[in-house]
């Protein structure tokens, strides 16, 4: 459920017509709904066993305002870089609720995490363990660590967002897990407290979760039998969301039932890392139609938003519903909806049926709140689109549009030019 609805023929974010925001900030822009963010976080958290740490995966949407909205509800943060660490702290997430994931942490990032005294590092390899041990020891600190294991489970999602198969770069190879724990136990500055996994994103079946969680729980029991003190289990994120009416991924409560069943009686601190589920349907990208261009065999709707603003369709062939901002009962037409970027992959939708639109009309690309603005670039010297947060009848620009002057001011001339 989300809070983007037509009222009096106008698509609104909560109580604010998107056309009003467009008039104030120009297009394209991202718009997020506070009520939807809050609802998604609450529904997900309530589906988890009591006491679980729900560490919002900042990579899905790193807007400070979004993180803070969630932090105020008690969210922790799952971060994957020193940059995300700074953002999570700046948005008010307590360090005691921050989990540092990621396959390539630098020494500087580790040091920053240790200085902030974050809850946990999810370490993805023995090589990384050695470096974390060195960095922690040099500071006289101890890093609380979960080892992220690769359970070799097929998440049955898109290959490009699958992370838990043996061929993926993530996690410690299943055959090396015991050796990695033994290695970690001998290292100074390391306290191995848990087992972590994350098998992929936009997961729409519960079976892979059942399989992976059962492996993780069995591993915790096995390690405990070997004398390790394993007090935490991190089951990652990845629950899929509906990108259109035909998709019906499992509801948080069904996913929660799988989690509960897996960890029942384990007596371990549970950590989960949802990202997409919280933010995807809490955000839209609003664009203006620049041209309706008749091609040889098709008609192109050329928007002022491009793949630099939202790369998911180009990168993953992802589907996003696209709707007119002003409700229309015009006859349906079939368009290729494209952006202005000089790439043929700058295509939001091929052969998409939409009510007939004209140049100047506004359209909303739905479900754009996760992996949208965070993956944007300034390709073609197109400034990053602004981000706007709505709450009831209020809206605020939380990140202004990046101007070309901003971009130029960040470059420097070499002496010889
Ligand atoms: C380690 C980790 N945790 C959590 C997530 C969040 O996944 P999602 O946004 O699908 O919930 C990701 C995303 O791929 C991830 O890599």
The CATH number that applies at residue 400 is: 2.40.37.10
How far is it, in rounded angstroms, from Cα 204 to Cα 220? Answer: 26
Burial 227-262 (b: 16+ CB within 10 A, else e): ebebbbbbbbbbbbbebeeeeebbebeebbebbeeb
Domains contained in the chain, number: 2
Residues 258 and 363 in one domain: no
Give the residue numbers spanning the domain of 61: 34-278
Residues 267 and 285 in one domain: no
Best mutation site among 57, 369, 371 for ligand 1 pocket (most ligand atoms within 8 Å of CB): 57
Residues 247 and 310 in one domain: no
Catalytic, out of 248, 342, 381, 408: 342
Query: Which residue bears the tokens 């939409």?
Result: 354
> Which pLDDT does position 414 carry in this prediction?
98
Q: Is residue 416 part of a domain?
A: no
Q: Give the domain-ending residue among 234, 259, 278.
A: 278
Q: Does the beta carbon of 277 lie inside 6 Å of ligand 1? A: yes
Task: With a cut of 90, say whether residue 162 has pLDDT above it.
Answer: no
Of 386, 361, 362, 359, nearest to 372 (Cα)?
Answer: 386
Average of per-residue pLDDT values in the chain: 96
Q: Is residue 252 part of a domain?
A: yes
Tell me the pTM.
0.97
- The residue-averaged pLDDT of 129-149 equals 98
Q: What percent of the chain has pLDDT over 90?
A: 94
Structure tokens that stand for 89 in this block: 């702290």
> Which residue, by CA, sits nearest to atom 13 of ligand 1?
201
Helix (H) or strand (E) holding 67: helix 64-71
Residues 14 and 70 in one domain: no
Residues 131 and 267 in one domain: yes
Residues 75 and 214 in one domain: yes
Residues 181 and 305 in one domain: no
Q: Give the domain-ending residue among 263, 278, 293.
A: 278
Using a 10 angstrom Cβ sphere, with 0-12 exposed, 13-18 middle and 19 or more buried, the burial of residue 285 is buried
Residues 378 and 390 in one domain: yes
Residues 54 and 199 in one domain: yes
Contact by Cβ (8 Å): 85, 100: yes
Residues 210 and 307 in one domain: no
> Which pLDDT does position 106 carry in this prediction?
98
The CATH number that applies at residue 97 is: 3.20.20.10
Q: Which residues pair with 149 in a beta bridge?
A: 172
Phi-psi region of 93 (alpha: psi -120 to 50; beta: other; left: phi over 0): beta
Residues 147 and 273 in one domain: yes
Query: Which residue bears the tokens 């897990």?
Result: 177
The sign of the dihedral angle between the CA atoms of 352, 354, 360, 365 is negative
> Which pLDDT does position 204 carry in this prediction?
96
Nearest atom of ligand 1 to the alpha carbon of 277:
11
Q: Strands across the sheet with 4-7, in order?
A: 4-7, 10-13, 16-17
Task: With a cut of 80, say whether residue 97 has pLDDT above it.
Answer: yes
Q: Is residue 415 part of a domain?
A: no
Residues 120 and 261 in one domain: yes
């Amino acid at each position: 459920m989300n809070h983007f609805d037509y009222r009096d023929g106008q698509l609104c974010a909560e109580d604010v017509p998107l056309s009003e925001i467009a008039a104030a900030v120009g297009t394209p822009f991202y718009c997020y709904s506070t009520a939807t963010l809050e609802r998604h976080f609450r529904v997900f958290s309530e589906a988890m066993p009591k006491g679980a740490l729900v560490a919002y995966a900042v990579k899905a949407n790193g807007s400070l305002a979004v993180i803070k909205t969630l932090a105020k509800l008690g969210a922790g943060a799952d971060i994957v870089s020193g940059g995300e660490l700074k953002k999570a702290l700046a948005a008010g997430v307590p360090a005691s609720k921050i989990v540092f994931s990621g396959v390539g942490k630098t020494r500087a990032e580790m040091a920053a995490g240790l200085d902030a005294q974050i809850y946990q590092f999810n370490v993805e390899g023995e090589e990384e363990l050695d470096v974390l041990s060195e960095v922690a020891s040099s500071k006289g600190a101890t890093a609380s660590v979960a080892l992220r294991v690769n359970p070799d489970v097929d998440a049955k999602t898109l290959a490009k967002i699958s992370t838990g198969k043996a061929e993926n770069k993530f996690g410690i190879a299943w055959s090396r897990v015991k050796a990695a724990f033994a290695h970690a136990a001998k290292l100074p500055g390391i306290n191995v407290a848990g087992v972590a996994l994350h098998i992929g994103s936009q997961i729409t079946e519960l079976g892979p979760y059942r399989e992976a969680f059962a492996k993780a729980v069995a591993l915790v029991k096995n390690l405990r039998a070997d004398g390790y003190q394993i007090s935490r289990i991190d089951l990652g994120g990845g629950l899929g969301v509906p990108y259109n009416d035909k998709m019906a991924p499992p509801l948080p409560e069904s996913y929660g039932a799988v989690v509960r069943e897996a960890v029942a009686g384990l007596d371990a601190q549970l950590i989960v890392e949802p990202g997409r589920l919280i933010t995807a349907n809490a955000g839209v990208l609003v664009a203006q139609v620049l041209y309706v261009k008749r091609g040889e065999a098709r008609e192109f709707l050329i928007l002022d938003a491009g793949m630099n603003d939202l790369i998911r369709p180009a990168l993953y062939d992802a589907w996003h519903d696209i709707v007119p901002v002003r409700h229309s009962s015009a006859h349906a037409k079939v368009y290729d909806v494209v952006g202005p970027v000089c790439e043929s992959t700058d295509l939001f939708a091929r052969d998409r049926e939409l009510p007939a639109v004209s140049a100047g009309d506004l359209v909303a690309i739905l479900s754009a709140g996760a992996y949208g603005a965070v993956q944007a670039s300034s390709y073609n010297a197109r400034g990053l689109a602004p981000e706007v947060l709505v709450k009831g009848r209020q809206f605020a620009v939380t990140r202004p549009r990046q101007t070309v002057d901003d971009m130029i001011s960040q470059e420097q001339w070499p002496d010889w030019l």
